[in-house]
Structure 1
Amino acid sequence: MVRVGLTPERLTLAGAEMADEAGFEQVTLSALARRFDVRVASLYSHVKNSHELRTRIALLALEELADLVAAAVAGRAGKDALIAFANAYRDYARAHPGRYDAARLRLDPQTAAASAGVRHAQMTRAILRGYDLTEPDQTHAVRMLGSVFHGYVSLEAAGGFSHTAVDAQESWAWTLESLDAMLRQRNTP
């Protein structure tokens, strides 16, 4: 018998909360069933399997993050947009570490194309228009920014910057200033 109140959306949100609390890798149908005090079998009428649940959490995270980034960059351009964009990513990763990890889940091409991941790429390219980059430099810059933001956030979350006297926020600001300077320099003859 299906427990009253369980829906795919409720299970997805509970899985996302669990990911933030215990880590995305710890989200399983068994753990979720324990959270709702139901048998695992009762979840199968709402989600096919653990992969579907993990995909749903990834899609939720991508959507949440895209909404936050869009709000942060609205009305901004150039360096201000770049900094707002980067800070929105970092803030989301700090507030929702499990969801942030979920947003990195590899999606099949059809699911990825229909996800908010497309909005992330569009927003990144919109910010880069302020730097007048042409192809292939724009694609290189999209990949570079994603790599730098994700790398920094991941290292910071793992405690990688806690072993020096220099504050991680100071290094973050320096990194963003350097990215802006490099992007502006790309079109200087």
Structure 2
Amino acid sequence: MKKVITFLFLVSFGLTQAQQAFTGKGDVRVNVGANLQDGGSGIQGSVDFGLGENFSFGFVSTYLLGVDNFTGYYHNNPTPYTDEKPEFQDRFDAKARINANLSSVIGVEQLDIYPGLSLGLHNFGGHIGGRYFFTDGFGVFTEIGFPIAKYSDNNDIFDHLNNQATFSLGASFNLQ
């Protein structure tokens, strides 16, 4: 029972003390969290800079820490692979991105919903995310990213790692 009361107190305190998630020009929001996807998991870091009331640009980078090795035949290649490990370029991705920050549009200051587009090392893609700030400097975020068009027809063993839908969640910080 004590755990339930403590949990309800923390939730109600977090909701009553919540701060504005996106204020516009001059905002600097940093997200750090876990990246989850098919075939691996890792870390994601991003930074977004406010340019206007509902517009920001930024950068996002991911690195896969845990990736499944590959053993077997791939794309009708007669030579089998044995315990192939991904290289650094298979694990790493960096992207520039733009966002439409919708907190003022939806009328909830503490919640920033931000759809956007990204241009990265491996593909052109999109994302939709959300940030909720409990205090002026700390909040949580979640984000789904997806590729729209990849740059090459290269279909090596680990090409799918940076060309698939990803899910991220973690902490968000206000550096303004």
| TM-score, normalised with respect to structure 1 | 0.21
Q: Which has the higher contact order (CA 8 A, sep 6+)?
A: 2
| TM-score, normalised with respect to structure 2 | 0.22
Decide which structure has greater helix share. 1
Decide which structure has greater strand share. 2
